[in-house]
A and B are shown apart, each in its own frame.
Chain A
Amino acid sequence: MPRTEVQPDERSLRRARRERVLAAMAAEGVDVLVMGREANARYVSGAPRLWTAGSRAFGPGCVLVRESGAVHLLSTWDEGVPEEIPHENLYGISFNAANFLDALQRVEGAASVRTVATDGLTPSAAQLLARSFPSADLVDGEPLLRRVRAVKTPEEVEAVRASVRLAEHALSEAVAALGPGVTARRLTGVFLEAMAAAGVTTPASQDVAWVPSRVHPGRRGGRDEPLESGDLVAFGAGVIASGYAGEVGRTKRIGEGEADEAERALRRDQDALWGRLLGACRPGATATGLLDAYDAVGLAPPPVPVARGLGLGFDLPLVTHALPELAAEQRLEEGMVLALTAFVWKEGRGAVYGQEPVLVTPSGPELLSTDPFQEARSQA
């Protein structure tokens, strides 16, 4: 059904999320949580706000108080704001730090709370928070938020599934535009147009289509170079719908011809890699198994992370060959959703890049996309 009004996230979804954060605050003795990252603010408040591209410097975008469960939100208007956040807890857009000081000092107990956690800081925000909460220690709120957010509720899994469906739909439109002479730029435009025409105007990434280099695994052709028959083009199709990221990655060949032997070899290696990667997605396993999967099938580490959490914003786990110590510390848990990457590159032919959203369950990994491997076989 078309969404014709700005609505907050479902009551049950936002209540479940907020209660999990409040429980974690209680367990860790955090009195007040101040969030700058949009996904954290959305997780706690359930309010959609304006999407902008690029990283944002920390600012007090949303405040959660443990004792009362009250949410204070940076919003000049009440459209899309859940009913449990009263008008007096909204503070507006401002360019003047004094106004944020005023808003934060109105948070109940601001003068006396002992522990305030944040998800980032800037030099000026550090001063602002010190003045707003004069009795408090400023501590790291990210581990708490990451732990809570990494494991999804069933309702959240459905939200990711819906986002993935939309990403796949828009991707199919971009794939339909493939042909000799097309550029990565054109494919990006077609993908984003199809996404918005389907009712969602916010991409996860605008790095949608690229041509893997034949001479270096990490490099790419230019966005404006016309593609020729036989060229491989990689898609990173990601959308943000209702706050949740849905992402898939696929690699297609330009033109009607059959795959050459080099491409078939790439795809055979990728199939073997997928088997290993999916086999490593067991609850309780460390993320190191995902790194080892590449070595096990004789492939070099990819130039991108092997896995990222998929959900609202920056999500655990982050599994990259660049940080093996981090992978060893991270354990996969039931209810985590991973964007899992199978990347295979051979000099002279380029790369096949695949990324699939996977839910970790007790009975093994569950794909949240629609049978990607059938598609892979049809290309091979």
Chain B
Amino acid sequence: MPAGLMASAPAAGSTLIPPEADLARMRHQRVERIRDAMHAQGLDALVLLGNTNVVYATGVVWPLADSGRAAFEQPVAVVLADDAWPHLFSSMSVADPERSDLPPDHLHGPVFLDFDQGVARFTAHLAELVPAGAAVGIDEWTNALRRDRSLLFGAGDPADGGRVISRAKLVKTPDELACMREGLRITESAIAEVQTGVAPGVRQTELTATFLRCIFEAGADANVLDPIWQVMPPRLADGPWTTTGDLACPLLSTERVLVEGDVLWVDTGISAGGFHSDFGRTWIVGRGPDARQRAQFERWQAIMAAVLDVTRAGSTAADLTAAAVDAAGGVKPWMPHFYLGHGLGIDSAEMPYVGSDIGEAFDAGLVLTEGMVLVLEPVVWDDGAAGYRSEEVLVVTDDGWEPMTDYPYDPF
């Protein structure tokens, strides 16, 4: 059984990833980055509603809820250009003053921005923090917010505040990398227990049950994706119709019973310390790979090796896609509705996207820099015998890359 990504890592040298994160420093550096981006965009204040954007700006972490339930008491963050501390509007179950390092006068009650009455409360607070006529950016808005003309929408739609966060979070600090590696370890420890239970007769949902218990026991804050244990059809034509004519993936898990020989494409992720993890492997139920399946895996390894060979600061996303296409014999070895690779951080998929449908010009202009985290997920499809897909997480360095995961490829 080949070992995981560590085995193919470049010779061990200096590491970007410290053994432990300094959380206070991490939060401080993030707010600095946000404020730098605000200055560049000419913003005096930034209002954030998106759960993960609030996590990024405040360092406050809570167990994320179902997306519908999350709207009931959505925490809101406000970052000011001249204040090192962000303001947070939330319930105390989200921001316990004893467990948050935000100053007490920066913690406020929840504001319920889905309602005009909640918006009125919020804008009254905001007026105390931000002078009239200030330039305010916002990441998203409710219709109730849009009706309010006092601060945010006085002169048309406000500036795009989401871009500030996208820019700030693109390159990870060493403390962030340490946090992310911990989340990836939690995920992999849970997956290891799940994998021992994969056998004919087991239902997909039973794998999820084990996964959910194990991630919490290992230290997760939340699950972030209904885990995928997709049974791949041998032929593309046996799967569902798609808009692309290519594979349908990820398909939802059900109480389907696994049978010997099923090829499972696994895809999961959790939230820990405010970061999302990602995990992907191909498993075979109840037996090892046959010669054809082993050949698929070897092709996948060759593609991954070719991509890793050109992965370093200064390379473009197009360098990575070109290496993948070349190693795959001239075809794109990834699903057209996704990408060859994507960033990972406070969101499950974020910039930089590599090989997405944003297009080749975008890829050619996207230059990798040290500290970017990439999830590479090439796919080998072998019509008639399904295929192989795995994901690897790494951080880009000036010399190349450093692995952030080390899960084995068993049973391959």
A: residues with CB less than 8 A from B are 2-6, 37-39, 48-58, 75-80, 87, 90-96, 99, 118-124, 126, 140-142, 185-186, 188-190, 192-197, 199-207, 210, 216, 218-220, 222, 238, 240, 245, 303-305, 308, 312-315, 318, 320, 322-323, 325-326
Does B283 touch A at the CB level, under 8 Å?
no
In the assembled complex, the CB of A8 is this many whole angstroms from the nearest CB of chain B, namely 12
Asked if residues B254 and A141 are in contact (CB atoms below 8 Å), the reply is: no
Question: With A50-B252, A96-B357 as given contacts, are A90 and B243 in contact (CB-CB < 8 Å)?
Answer: yes
Could you give, for residues 215-233 of chain B, a 1 whenever the CB lies within 8 Å of some chain A CB and a 0 otherwise? 1110101111111000000
Asked if residues A313 and B143 are in contact (CB atoms below 8 Å), the reply is: no
Does B196 touch A at the CB level, under 8 Å?
no
Asked if residues B339 and A202 are in contact (CB atoms below 8 Å), the reply is: no
How far is B217's CA from A140's CA once the two chains are assembled, in angstroms?
A: 43
How far is B50's CA from A145's CA once the two chains are assembled, in angstroms?
A: 21
How far is B108's CA from A218's CA once the two chains are assembled, in angstroms?
A: 13
Residue of A nearest to B158 (CB): A123
Asked if residues B241 and A6 are in contact (CB atoms below 8 Å), the reply is: no
Asked if residues A53 and B66 are in contact (CB atoms below 8 Å), the reply is: yes
In the assembled complex, the CB of B12 is this many whole angstroms from the nearest CB of chain A, namely 33
Question: With A54-B67, A238-B69 as given contacts, are A140 and B147 in contact (CB-CB < 8 Å)?
Answer: yes
Residue of A nearest to B156 (CB): A126
Could you give, for residues 308-330 of chain B, a 1 whenever the CB lies within 8 Å of some chain A CB and a 0 otherwise? 00000000000000000000000
Could you give, for residues 193-221 of chain B, a 1 whenever the CB lies within 8 Å of some chain A CB and a 0 otherwise? 00000000001011011101111110101
* B320-358 CB contacts (< 8 Å) to partner A: 337-339, 348, 353, 356-358
* B128-148 CB contacts (< 8 Å) to partner A: 138-144, 146-147
Question: With A51-B225, A186-B217, A222-B99 as given contacts, are A126 and B66 in contact (CB-CB < 8 Å)?
Answer: no
Asked if residues B68 and A38 are in contact (CB atoms below 8 Å), the reply is: yes
Asked if residues A79 and B64 are in contact (CB atoms below 8 Å), the reply is: no
Residue of A nearest to B69 (CB): A204
How far is B217's CA from A356's CA once the two chains are assembled, in angstroms?
A: 28
Residues of chain A contacted by B97 (CB below 8 angstroms): 219
Asked if residues A78 and B68 are in contact (CB atoms below 8 Å), the reply is: no
- The tally of residues in B whose CB lies under 8 Å from a CB in A reads 92
Asked if residues B157 and A206 are in contact (CB atoms below 8 Å), the reply is: no
Asked if residues B159 and A79 are in contact (CB atoms below 8 Å), the reply is: no
Residue of A nearest to B97 (CB): A219
How far is B262's CA from A237's CA once the two chains are assembled, in angstroms?
A: 34
Residues of chain B contacted by A185 (CB below 8 angstroms): 216-217, 219
Q: Which of B70, B121, B212, B339 lies in contact with A189, CB distance below 8 A?
A: B212
Question: With A196-B209, A207-B65 as given contacts, are A142 and B348 in contact (CB-CB < 8 Å)?
Answer: no
How far is B226's CA from A52's CA once the two chains are assembled, in angstroms?
A: 6
Asked if residues A95 and B157 are in contact (CB atoms below 8 Å), the reply is: no
Asked if residues B240 and A55 are in contact (CB atoms below 8 Å), the reply is: no
In the assembled complex, the CB of B157 is this many whole angstroms from the nearest CB of chain A, namely 6
Does B256 touch A at the CB level, under 8 Å?
yes
How far is B353's CA from A94's CA once the two chains are assembled, in angstroms?
A: 12
How far is B225's CA from A260's CA once the two chains are assembled, in angstroms?
A: 42
In the assembled complex, the CB of B23 is this many whole angstroms from the nearest CB of chain A, namely 15
Question: With A122-B139, A192-B223 as given contacts, are A204 and B91 in contact (CB-CB < 8 Å)?
Answer: no
Does B365 touch A at the CB level, under 8 Å?
no
Asked if residues A121 and B140 are in contact (CB atoms below 8 Å), the reply is: yes
How far is B71's CA from A203's CA once the two chains are assembled, in angstroms?
A: 15
Given A77-B241, A315-B68: 13 more A-B contacts, CB < 8 Å:
A4-B256, A55-B50, A55-B67, A76-B244, A92-B242, A120-B143, A123-B138, A141-B143, A202-B66, A313-B66, A313-B67, A323-B115, A326-B115
* B158-181 CB contacts (< 8 Å) to partner A: 158-162
Residue of B nearest to A141 (CB): B143
Residues of chain A contacted by B159 (CB below 8 angstroms): 123
Asked if residues A189 and B348 are in contact (CB atoms below 8 Å), the reply is: no
Question: With A54-B64, A76-B244, A245-B66 as given contacts, are A202 and B158 in contact (CB-CB < 8 Å)?
Answer: no
How far is B350's CA from A272's CA once the two chains are assembled, in angstroms?
A: 50
Interface centre among B250, B255, B339 (most CB of A within 10 A): B255
Residues of chain B contacted by A49 (CB below 8 angstroms): 252
Q: Which of A120, A189, A202, A304 lies in contact with B217, CB distance below 8 A?
A: A189
Residues of chain B contacted by A54 (CB below 8 angstroms): 51-52, 64-65, 67, 70, 224, 271
How far is B356's CA from A39's CA once the two chains are assembled, in angstroms?
A: 27
Interface centre among B144, B210, B222 (most CB of A within 10 A): B222
Question: With A54-B52, A55-B70, A76-B244 as given contacts, are A326 and B117 in contact (CB-CB < 8 Å)?
Answer: yes
Asked if residues A218 and B248 are in contact (CB atoms below 8 Å), the reply is: no
Asked if residues B91 and A51 are in contact (CB atoms below 8 Å), the reply is: no
Residues of chain A contacted by B110 (CB below 8 angstroms): 322
Asked if residues B140 and A206 are in contact (CB atoms below 8 Å), the reply is: no
Asked if residues A196 and B65 are in contact (CB atoms below 8 Å), the reply is: no
Residues of chain B contacted by A2 (CB below 8 angstroms): 203, 255
How far is B99's CA from A3's CA once the two chains are assembled, in angstroms?
A: 42
Q: Which of B146, B222, B253 lies in contact with A140, CB distance below 8 A?
A: B146
Residues of chain A contacted by B36 (CB below 8 angstroms): none
Does B8 touch A at the CB level, under 8 Å?
no
Asked if residues B91 and A304 are in contact (CB atoms below 8 Å), the reply is: yes
List 27 interface pairs A-B (beta carbons < 8 Å), by A numbering: A4-B255, A5-B254, A5-B256, A39-B68, A51-B66, A51-B225, A51-B226, A53-B224, A54-B67, A76-B337, A77-B242, A77-B243, A87-B241, A92-B244, A92-B337, A94-B337, A120-B140, A186-B216, A188-B216, A196-B209, A202-B66, A204-B69, A238-B69, A245-B68, A313-B68, A322-B112, A322-B121
Residue of A nearest to B253 (CB): A201
Residues of chain B contacted by A240 (CB below 8 angstroms): 66, 68
In the assembled complex, the CB of B99 is this many whole angstroms from the nearest CB of chain A, namely 7
In the assembled complex, the CB of B184 is this many whole angstroms from the nearest CB of chain A, namely 17
Residue of B nearest to A59 (CB): B140
In the assembled complex, the CB of B35 is this many whole angstroms from the nearest CB of chain A, namely 20
